[in-house]
Amino acid sequence: MPPTLLLSRELPTLEYTSTRDRFDSTWEDPLSTLLGLGRAAGADFIEFFLERVNYINCLAEDDKITSITPRLSTGAGVRVFKGKADCYVSTNDLSFNGLKAALEKGLSILGLQLPAPNSFVPEINLELLRDYATAKGKEIWLPECSSMREMGDILLAANDKLEQKADKVQSRRAVYFRDWQEVLVASSDGTFARDIRLTQSVGYNILCADGANRSSISKRVGSTSNPNFLRQWDYETDAAEVAESSGKMLYADYVESGTYPIVMANSFGGVIFHEACGHLLETTQIEKKTTPFIDKKGEKIAHENLTAWDEGLTDKAFGTVDMDDEGMPVQRTLLIENGILKNFLADRAGSLRTGHPRTGSGRRQSYTFAAASRMRNTYIAPGDYSTEDIFNSIDKGIYCKKMGGGSVGATGEFNFAVEEAYLIENGKLTKPLKGATLIGEAKEIMNKISMCSQDLGLAPGFCGSVSGSIYVTVGQPHIKVDSITVGGR
């Protein structure tokens, strides 16, 4: 054990025996020493983020396994703050000297230097290791997951079932991934926390064709914290759903361009709120001054029937974690209540620079990224209407049952393809439509979501932003948008 105060000249002779195959309390001594070294150099705050990853992806195309892609990685990142300025340096050298070199580089970027040889280096007092992995029995997750052979067998069986259910099939794809991650966070405010995450997803994509008619339908399901997820996948039910949708869309008419009232389905329909509004409520957008809601806290920004949440607590949801990537326990954050903007999503840097309180939203793809304010499980809350009420309120409109891809501008302008749509006439679905694209702007569309049903559904998603690609949940009940521009033919 090093003494409470070190002379910096003693650092090269220090020896630590940190456990190499897991992050545990043996990492306390070297990390507290390095944090003290950073503080002695003049940094206001230092954070270390250590990570180990065991990832695998398996792809079945038609009747063959065409790709198995494993990835193992280990590394660390150090973030250094001086005032409101910060920098981030990553390394895959987790030795004491490797982490010290990364710290030294970060300090130098901010114009700071390691203390002189005879300077005292205070050791930072870290909290007792807050170990969510051990406390919640997560150590057994990885060995309990499906083997590579089992992955292949399940995906091939799923593709075979899809061929049985669908007609006019040109190609069938089933894809699965498993992402196991162990993280350790130590920072100069005393944070010392460890977690293990297990994220898995599996899904279908089918392409059908008959002459000039084409349809492409996808479905994906996902989960966290469940080693038996792939074994429990009900691929027969999903195959039947995908086959039915592809059959209807194969011969669907093209939608006519215009402005319509629409009904958006629950679950993945929430991707539009996530993209068009959710990102604008992250403090990264406030820092860039690219959100129209920058000074709207406490004001009405949406219809009075709309309430929205972001949280990391829903059991097995894609954005659920016990702590964020800055070591803060997750929580529920009320974003919008009855149309009134209540809170923004803030990480440490965002809170420092904007004044909004941290919300356990500091997230990153890996150790190569600094954490940033990001969404977790983000959804529009259930309302007071039935789904029947919503459809009956529309004389002529469009039902957007399944959303496809899209894009969103920096300040909320968006366009989203609709993968599966139907014409609504006098409150009833009359015929399938294809080729629809929803076009709008966040600050306008939020005020036109006038009805929310009671059937909240959640769906897994992937979100890209300044701290890389992360796992999130999108969601909503069925909602009515009073009017929106629909691109078509």
Interval 21-30: pLDDT, tens = 899 999 999 9
Decide if 186 is inside a domain: no
Q: Given phi > 0 = left and psi -120 to 50 = alpha, else beta, which region is 351?
A: alpha
Residue 410 has pLDDT above 80, yes or no: no
Looking at the fold, whether 214 and 227 belong to one and the same domain comes out as: yes
Looking at the fold, whether 164 and 84 belong to one and the same domain comes out as: no
Decide if 188 is inside a domain: no
Give the pLDDT of residue 411.
Answer: 76
Looking at the fold, whether 466 and 331 belong to one and the same domain comes out as: yes
Looking at 82, 106, 135, the residue that finishes a domain is 135
Overall average pLDDT of the 450-478 stretch: 96
Residue 219 has pLDDT above 60, yes or no: yes
Residue 276 has pLDDT above 90, yes or no: no
What is the band of 175 on the pLDDT scale with cuts at 50, 70, 90? very high
pLDDT by residue (tens digit) across 196-210? 999 999 999 999 999
Looking at the fold, whether 239 and 364 belong to one and the same domain comes out as: no
| 393-411 burial: b if 16+ Cβ within 10 Å, else e | bbeebbbbbbbbebebeeb
- φ, ψ of residue 111 in degrees (nearest 5): 80, 20
Overall average pLDDT of the 182-186 stretch: 98
- The chain-wide mean pLDDT, for the chain, equals 94
The model carries a pTM of: 0.94
Looking at the fold, whether 434 and 289 belong to one and the same domain comes out as: yes
Looking at the fold, whether 439 and 301 belong to one and the same domain comes out as: yes
Looking at the fold, whether 12 and 45 belong to one and the same domain comes out as: yes
Give the pLDDT of residue 7.
Answer: 65
Looking at 208, 233, 252, the residue that finishes a domain is 252
Give the pLDDT of residue 5.
Answer: 59
Residue 3 has pLDDT above 60, yes or no: no
Decide if 460 is inside a domain: yes
What is the band of 1 on the pLDDT scale with cuts at 50, 70, 90? very low
Decide if 454 is inside a domain: yes
Number of domains the chain contains:
3
Please give the share of the chain, as a percent, with pLDDT higher than 70: 97
Q: What is the Cα–Cα distance from 181 to 387, expressed in whole angstroms? A: 40
Looking at the fold, whether 305 and 421 belong to one and the same domain comes out as: yes
Give the pLDDT of residue 14.
Answer: 73
Looking at the fold, whether 131 and 143 belong to one and the same domain comes out as: no
pLDDT by residue (tens digit) across 67-108? 999 999 999 999 999 999 999 999 999 999 999 999 999 999
Looking at the fold, whether 93 and 146 belong to one and the same domain comes out as: no
Looking at 252, 270, 285, the residue that finishes a domain is 252
What is the band of 488 on the pLDDT scale with cuts at 50, 70, 90? confident
Residue 323 has pLDDT above 50, yes or no: yes
Decide if 187 is inside a domain: no
Decide if 192 is inside a domain: no
Decide if 213 is inside a domain: yes
Looking at the fold, whether 229 and 83 belong to one and the same domain comes out as: no
Looking at the fold, whether 337 and 467 belong to one and the same domain comes out as: yes
Domain that holds residue 72: 5-58+67-135
